[in-house]
Amino acid sequence: MAIPATILTGFLGSGKTTLLQHILKEQHGYKIAVIENEFGEVAVDTSLLGDRATNITTLSNGCICCSSQNELSDALYDLLDSIDDGSLSFDYLIIECTGMADPGPILQTFFSSEVLSERYLLDGVITLVDAVHAMQQLDQFSIAQAQVGYADRILITKTDVNPDTKALEQRLKQINIRAPQYKVIQGQIDLSLLFNIEGFILNDQLSSNTLIFNPVTPVQQAMAIQSFVIRLTKPLELSKISEFMDELLVTYGDQILRYKGLLAIQDDDRRLLFQGVQRLYSADWDKEWQADEKRESILVFIGLNLPEQEIRQGFDNL
Amino acid sequence: MFGNLGKASKYLGQAARMMIGIPDYDNYVAHMKKNHPDKPVMTYEEFFKERQEARYGGKGKGGFRCC
């Protein structure tokens, strides 16, 4: 069975280590392995470590801590080797990214080879956001925005220091309307909130009511990651929407972080689902529309400087 | 994008489409036009098949080669 994996990201000082310490020390019954992403940070003499040297330490509660100076994929393969030779076993894998890391390439690593795609199941991206400094970081660093943009769950930390998070919550929602937000103090969190998110499984979680925007002023920023929702009541012609989506990905593939959709297709009683990360996507038919359901297409895009009006217009013209 | 429904896995990591990706095909076409204007260019479907075979060790073993 594939090993579920979670990517834990967040800007410098957002509380990732505190959360991890909580996760690793707690007697929760899970055997969790953590890979600390130090990849490429320090120019260590890798000839001393060998090509694929991953430091693996087993903690008293069965949790495993790994650090590697090499690529993430090397560490992922090393863990698989250790499972195969029987020296390790664990139920769950967490990747702790450094504060300045872009989750994009880390996420892509899980889809980069057949072996990694089959033996790991990337469950979700959890992004920590510090209630004290996040607004400033989001203004200054597009990487901080990308970390929020890729998220399946957002954890707002340090709310004990700054309990007034209303504006921040709005801002985060503007960047990523999909991800639910939770407040966490001192890393105390129910692990069920972090696990089994199914962030990269084709499902219809979009039909929830979370996708409702309060009108907010668009962020005037040179590099702004924002999300938008498109709702279409007219059933779509399969070939046309297919072609239009291809075009969107070809044109804006570098700017799109994540997207999901549930579509009502002309002359078909089934719902069509799709989801993607940058240019990688999957799509398939889902169950039939129920009699009490409104046949409406819902699409969510999260991207950097996407021309929202132009894209909306394109969908309206279909 | 929706031309190959029912064949992909529900998990993005296993969805066949990612194995090629649209940009790969675009790059391939651009490369052929620029460097080999006299040679035939594979269609998207042919390209897809070729890439899959290269990846899964079919007849195109050794990876994709255009020149």
Residue B20 structural domain: 3-48
Tokens standing for B49?
């098949």
Q: Say which CATH number the domain at A310 has.
A: 3.30.1220.10
Contact call for A283 and B10, based on CB within 8 A: no
pLDDT at A279: 81
Among the listed residues A33, A151, A16, the one whose alpha carbon sits nearest the alpha carbon of residue A96: A16
Residues A169 and A56 in one domain: yes
Tokens standing for A201?
């499984």
CA A286 to chain centre: 22
d(C-alpha A36, C-alpha A24), whole Å: 13
Interface A-B: count of C-beta contacts within 8 A: 85
pLDDT at B48: 66
Number of domains in chain B: 1
Residues A151 and A13 in one domain: yes
- Please name every residue paired with A6 in a beta bridge, in sequence order, or none if there are none: A94, A124
In a domain, B66, yes or no: no
pLDDT at A47: 43
In a domain, B55, yes or no: no
Tokens standing for A302?
């999260």
Label the pairing between strands A3-10 and A120-130: parallel
Identity of the amino acid at B2: F
Between helices A166-175 and A142-149, what is the axis angle to 10°?
Answer: 80
pLDDT at A187: 77
Residues A19 and A121 in one domain: yes
Residue in A253, A274, A284 nearest the CB of B23? A253
In a domain, A299, yes or no: yes
User: Up-side HSE of residue B59: CA atoms within 13 Å toward CB?
Assistant: 2
Measured between CA atoms, how close is A152 to chain B, in angstroms?
14
For chain B, what is the mean pLDDT?
Answer: 66
Among the listed residues A182, A201, A202, the one whose alpha carbon sits nearest the alpha carbon of residue A193: A182
pLDDT at B66: 46
- Portion 1-60 of B in contact with A at CB < 8 A: 1-3, 5-6, 8-15, 17-18, 21-23, 26, 55-56
Residues A256 and A299 in one domain: yes
pLDDT at A68: 66
Residues A174 and A276 in one domain: no
Q: What percent of chain B has pLDDT over 90?
A: 0
pLDDT at B67 over 70: no
Among the listed residues A61, A176, A86, the one whose alpha carbon sits nearest the alpha carbon of residue A129: A176
d(C-alpha A262, C-alpha A268), whole Å: 13
pLDDT at B17 over 90: no
Residues A180 and A234 in one domain: no
Radius of gyration of chain A (CA): 20
> Which chain A residues touch B22 with a CB distance below 8 Å?
246, 249-250, 253, 279
In a domain, B60, yes or no: no
Residues A170 and A239 in one domain: no
Query: Mean pLDDT in runs of 10 for chain A (318 residues)?
Result: 94 88 80 75 43 66 71 87 91 89 89 87 96 94 95 95 94 93 86 89 71 58 86 94 90 90 95 90 91 92 94 94
Those residues whose C-beta lies under 8 Å from the C-beta of residue A166, and which sit 6 or more positions away, are none
Asked which of A193, A209, A243 is the last residue of a domain, the reply is: A193
Instruction: Over range B14-24, report the average pLDDT.
Output: 54
pLDDT at A50: 46
Q: Say which CATH number the domain at A85 has.
A: 3.40.50.300
Interface test mutation site (partner B, options A76, A284, A318, max chain B beta carbons within 10 A): A284
> Which chain A residues touch B55 with a CB distance below 8 Å?
114
In a domain, B53, yes or no: no
d(C-alpha A247, C-alpha B22), whole Å: 10
Number of domains in chain A: 2
pLDDT at A296: 92
In a domain, B13, yes or no: yes
pLDDT digits (tens, 9 = 90+) for B21-37: 545 677 778 778 888 88
DSSP designation for A217:
P
Identity of the amino acid at A177: I
Residue in A118, A203, A283 nearest the CB of B2? A283
pLDDT at A215: 52
Q: In the β-sheet with A256-264, what is the strand arrangement from edge to edge?
A: A225-232, A297-304, A256-264, A270-277, A280-288
In a domain, B61, yes or no: no
CA A241 to chain centre: 25
pLDDT at A207: 56
Residue A291 structural domain: 225-317
CA end-to-end span of chain B: 28
Asked which of A174, A193, A212 is the last residue of a domain, the reply is: A193
DSSP of A265-289: BTT--EEEEEEEETTEEEEEEEEEP
pLDDT at A218: 60
Label the pairing between strands A256-264 and A270-277: antiparallel
Length of chain A, in residues? 318
pLDDT at B60: 37
Q: What percent of chain B has pLDDT over 70?
A: 49
> Which chain B residues touch A250 with a CB distance below 8 Å?
22-23, 26
Contact call for A245 and B18, based on CB within 8 A: no
- Are the C-beta atoms of residues A119 and A80 closer than 8 Å to each other? yes
d(C-alpha A278, C-alpha A256), whole Å: 5
d(C-alpha A237, C-alpha A301), whole Å: 20
Residue with tokens 């076409």: B29
CA A233 to chain centre: 28
> Which chain B residues touch A242 with a CB distance below 8 Å?
1-3
Those residues whose C-beta lies under 8 Å from the C-beta of residue A138, and which sit 6 or more positions away, are A144, A145, A148, A171, A175
In a domain, A248, yes or no: yes
In a domain, B67, yes or no: no
Distance set, CA B36 to CA A318, B39, B46 (Å) = 36, 6, 18
Asked which of A193, A209, A241 is the last residue of a domain, the reply is: A193
Tokens standing for A196?
């089994």
In a domain, A242, yes or no: yes
Residues A230 and A188 in one domain: no
Residues A78 and A132 in one domain: yes
In a domain, B41, yes or no: yes
Which residue stretches of chain A are H helix? Answer: 16-25, 46-49, 72-84, 103-109, 114-119, 134-140, 142-149, 166-175, 238-252, 308-316
**H-helix or E-strand containing B54?**
helix B44-56
DSSP designation for A188:
B
* ipTM over 0.90 threshold: no
> Which chain B residues touch A276 with a CB distance below 8 Å?
12
